[in-house]
Amino acid sequence: MRILVSGASVAGPVLAYWLTRHGFSATVVERAPAPRRTGGHAVDLFLPAVNISEKMGVLPRIEERTTGVNRMVVHREGARRPVRVDLSRIFSVTSDRHVEIMRDDLSEIYHDATRDDVEYVFGDSITAISPDGEVRFENAAPLRPRRRRGWAALQRAPPRLR
């Protein structure tokens, strides 16, 4: 079965990775013209996300690019002194595992881990999916499922991922 995923940031490439591991063929459509390289914002990965990234074999790359932020200093105009927050203590009581990374770095790592097995279409967007499975895009020509139970079948019977 072919699975169409919308968005190539974080969730899209991770979903596509696991779908292909379980025998599905995945296409990810992303409206941005290319993988984003603007940095984004910091994303904190806690135990489940760290474990999933480890299973995907990308944890060493994520750790290489960690922001390493473990202290926050808040300055307020007029206050006598800044407030210092030890973030590492908050992280350690929140979860057994934690890595902070910029969102676009994370997206790039997941994209790199999937680019050989997943079809990526940048600069496009899904505009409609008909009940018989035909998908319409903003730019590309419509796609029809190869068999009758194509895209539409997934909406009724999602596969169970172990």
Ligand X SMILES: Cc1cc2nc3c(=O)[nH]c(=O)nc-3n(C[C@H](O)[C@H](O)[C@H](O)COP(=O)(O)OP(=O)(O)OC[C@H]3O[C@@H](n4cnc5c(N)ncnc54)[C@H](O)[C@@H]3O)c2cc1C
* Residue ranges binding ligand X (CB under 6 A): 6-12, 29-32, 41, 43-44, 103, 125-126
**Looking at beta carbons, which residue is closest to ligand X?**
7
Beta-carbon-side half-sphere exposure of residue 54 (alpha carbons within 13 Å): 10
Closer to ligand X by Cβ: residue 20 or 95: 95
Neighbouring residues of 3: CB distance < 8 A, sequence distance ≥ 6: 16, 19, 24, 25, 26, 27, 151, 154
Residues 125 and 139: their CA atoms lie apart, in Å, by 8
Residues 37 and 112: their CA atoms lie apart, in Å, by 13
Other CB atoms closer than 10 Å to residue 13's CB: what's the count? 28
Q: How far is the CB of 104 from ligand X (least distance, A)?
A: 9
Q: How far is the CB of 30 from ligand X (least distance, A)?
A: 5
Residue 145 near residue 133 (C-beta atoms within 8 A):
yes
Q: How far is the CB of 134 from ligand X (least distance, A)?
A: 17
Closer to ligand X by Cβ: residue 12 or 133: 12
Q: How far is the CB of 76 from ligand X (least distance, A)?
A: 20
